[in-house]
Structure formats: C-alpha cells, structure tokens
C-alpha cells in the first residue's frame, strides 16, 4: 500500500466591494493556497492554521462555514492536499523568511476574484476552488 503524504491548508477569502476574493501564494511559477505537510501527531486543521500563520501572518481566520474540507486526488509521490475554507478581514499579508530556506517560501501573494484565481490554478486545484466558491457564494453570501 502506498503511503499517503497529507498536506493541509486553507482557502482564505475576504469580502471586498460585495465580492469574494481569494488569497493565492506564488512560489516560482506555481500558484496555490497556503498549505503544508501534516506533521506526526498533528491534526490536519491545526496544520492548516499553523501553515497559514507561518506563510502569510494571518491569525484571524473565521471558519464561518464550519470545518468541512475537500481533498485533491493524489499527485506527485502520493501527496494529497486537504483544504478548508475560512474568512479573514485582514488585507495585509506578510511573507516571512522561512528558517529552513533563509528566504520567504513564496515570492508573491495576490487577492483575486474567482475568475482571476481560477485562471492561475493548475487543473487539479480547480475543483477545490469551485467547491470553496459554491460554499461562500451560496451559504455565507
């Protein structure tokens, strides 16, 4: 049986001018939501919160739609990414220096509309965005 490597993250949204905006982080040419590997003994939701704080400085996340999640199909060497959806009121993102890398893990961040976000994501993340968008526009909207 192949070992599944689970990472966990958050699709961070904020309301601006009556529309939802999504936070994406860029590492080289790859855009993704904040996420990281679930460490041994760590709850995936704890991982997601830790990773968002480490990668963006955001600590005010509100899980208005509960703690439901969506996972990607396996990719790479058996990796699976689990995403939750949470809201922030903060607009300022900090890309701190990673102690392991000696530089920020990400090169850029952007708050974007659904269409802008969808255009930058790799195909395996599009269903995750569609799931999150359905939640925020139909339930919390």
CA Rg, the chain, in Å?
A: 14
Read off the pTM.
0.92
Residue 56 is predicted with a pLDDT of 95
> What does residue 137 show for φ and ψ, rounded to 5 degrees?
-85, -25
pLDDT digits (tens, 9 = 90+) for 18-40: 999 999 999 999 999 999 999 99
Per domain, the residue ranges of the chain are 5-138
Residue 138 is predicted with a pLDDT of 86
Cα separation, 86 vs 105, whole angstroms:
21
Render the burial of 107-139: b for 16+ CB within 10 Å, e for the rest: eebebbebeebeebbeeebeebbeebbebbeee
> What does residue 21 show for φ and ψ, rounded to 5 degrees?
-120, 145
Residue 6, strand partner residues:
80
Cα separation, 29 vs 14, whole angstroms:
24
User: Comparing 77 with 8, which gets the higher pLDDT?
Assistant: 8
pLDDT digits (tens, 9 = 90+) for 52-92: 999 999 999 999 999 999 999 998 888 999 999 999 999 88
Q: Is the pLDDT of residue 140 over 50?
A: no
Cα separation, 96 vs 67, whole angstroms:
26
Q: Which CATH superfamily is domain 5-138 in?
A: Nucleoside Triphosphate Pyrophosphohydrolase (3.90.79.10)
pLDDT digits (tens, 9 = 90+) for 94-117: 999 888 889 999 999 999 999 999
């Amino acid at each position: 049986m192949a070992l599944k490597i689970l990472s966990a993250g958050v699709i961070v949204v904020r309301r601006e001018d009556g529309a939802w905006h999504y936070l994406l982080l860029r590492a080289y040419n790859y855009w993704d939501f904040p996420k990281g590997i679930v460490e041994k003994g760590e709850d995936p939701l704890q991982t997601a919160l830790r990773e968002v704080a480490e990668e963006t400085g955001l600590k005010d996340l509100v899980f208005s739609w509960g703690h439901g999640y969506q996972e990607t199909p396996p990719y790479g060497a058996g990796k699976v990414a689990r995403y939750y959806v949470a809201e922030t009121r903060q607009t300022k993102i900090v890309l701190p220096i990673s102690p392991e890398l000696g530089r920020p893990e990400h090169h850029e961040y952007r708050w974007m509309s659904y269409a802008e976000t969808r255009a930058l994501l790799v195909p395996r993340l599009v269903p995750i965005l569609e799931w999150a968008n359905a939640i925020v526009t139909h339930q919390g909207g």
